[in-house]
Amino acid sequence: MPELPEVQTVLDGVVSSLGSLRLTGLYDLYPGTVKGANIEEAFPARLKNARRRGKYIIMELENGYALIIHLRMTGKLVWDKDEGEAHRHERAYFTVEKGNRLRFIDPRTFGKITLCPLDEVENHLPALGAEPLEAEFDAAYLQERLQNRRIPIKTALMDQGIVAGIGNIYACEILYRAGINPDAISNEIKLAHLKRIVAETKAVLAEALLHNGTSVSDFRQVDDKQGGFQEFLRVYQKESCPQGHPVKRSKHGGRSTFHCPICQTKGRVNPAK
Ligand SMILES: [Zn+2]
């Protein structure tokens, strides 16, 4: 599932492929993928600004419309020529000037493209927590957001309302690097340990961005190349940690958690769990 580094990599790829070319149309190939009225009115248009919020790509058009793209589980955007058959699993596409096409390919079909007026973008987004790479995401923020939450810290890090953009892979890697047990109870973690979590969150995400994200299953860049951070994972889908200890596999919220019981001892774990 694309997380912050993968979504940012896709966004950067779309912006550099598109340059000043105009998007000339948006076409739905799978019912429900494209949402929003006035699709004819919104095109053609150039991109005025593009940004990421959590796992959402927000493309602001020069004519007062905006596109919100959510890749969800398996969505990807692929830059291609405007010719030939639709790809397998292609759910929608943008036509682009000079014979180009931006294809939205999504085997699991959970991804969405929403077109709306620019001033309504926030209404189409859920309540999202701090951006982890921004200064607002610090230990004091995390402590405040966790103060009433008796949930495992792994679950809290994946809660988009607490911090936006982290999913399963990076939650596992952040907690390994911080030495924190994924079952540590969120509102019992000491400030010093929250500081480690915040520092490792920023470090892991920044490193993953440098490597254009992690490709463990479907993720591809806009040019269909893989990301590179999978070479640097320490516990996710590993048999042993870098110290040679066996990695333990468990579940949080239905998602597989990987952690090292020897390296990750910080934070008090609920004895009832
Ligand atoms: Zn270990």
CB 20 within 8 A of CB 97: no
Same domain, 85 and 166: no
pLDDT (tens digit per residue) in 140-179: 999 999 999 999 999 999 999 999 999 999 999 999 999 9
Dist. CA 197–CA 155, nearest whole Å? 14
* Residue that finishes a domain, picked among 98, 124, 150: 124
Least reliable range by pLDDT among 62-66, 83-87, 97-101, 209-213: 83-87
Dist. CA 41–CA 254, nearest whole Å? 42
How many A from CA of 177 to the centre of ligand 1? 10
How many A from CA of 140 to the centre of ligand 1? 28
SS3 letters across 130-158: ECCCCCCCCHHHHHHHHCCCCCEHHHHHC
Q: Which residues are catalytic?
A: 2-3, 55, 255
How many A from CA of 176 to the centre of ligand 1? 8
Dist. CA 161–CA 130, nearest whole Å? 8
Asked whether residue 130 is assigned to any structural domain, the reply reads: no
Tokens of 129: 């927590």
How many A from CA of 120 to the centre of ligand 1? 47
Share of the chain above pLDDT 90, in %: 88
Q: H or E segment at 65? A: strand 65-70
- Residues 224-246 have a mean pLDDT of 94
Pairing of strands 34-35, 112-117: parallel
CB 189 within 8 A of CB 267: yes
Q: Collect residues with CB below 5 Å from ion ligand 1.
A: 241, 243, 245, 260, 262-263
Asked whether residue 99 is assigned to any structural domain, the reply reads: yes
How many A from CA of 240 to the centre of ligand 1? 7
Confidence of residue 92 (pLDDT cuts 50, 70, 90): very high
> Which are the contacts of 16, defined by CB distance < 8 A and separation ≥ 6?
none
22: pLDDT strictly greater than 80: yes
Dist. CA 260–CA 100, nearest whole Å? 47
Q: Can you tell me whether residue 202 is helix, strand or coil?
A: helix
Domain count, the chain: 2
Tokens of 146: 């966790």
* Res 53: pLDDT: 98
Calculate the average pLDDT of the chain.
94
Q: Can you tell me whether residue 188 is helix, strand or coil?
A: helix
Same domain, 107 and 202: no
CATH code of the domain covering residue 28: 3.20.190.10
Q: What is the largest CA-CA distance in the chain?
A: 62
CB 266 within 8 A of CB 184: yes
Same domain, 255 and 144: yes
Confidence of residue 38 (pLDDT cuts 50, 70, 90): confident
Residue linked to tokens 């929608």: 92
Asked whether residue 271 is assigned to any structural domain, the reply reads: no
* Residue that finishes a domain, picked among 124, 150, 173: 124
Dist. CA 59–CA 21, nearest whole Å? 14
Asked whether residue 129 is assigned to any structural domain, the reply reads: no
Tokens of 241: 């940690």
Tokens of 240: 């042993």
Same domain, 205 and 246: yes
Domain holding 84, by residue range, is 4-124
For helices 191-210 and 4-18, give the axis angle rounded to 10 degrees: 30
Asked whether residue 132 is assigned to any structural domain, the reply reads: no
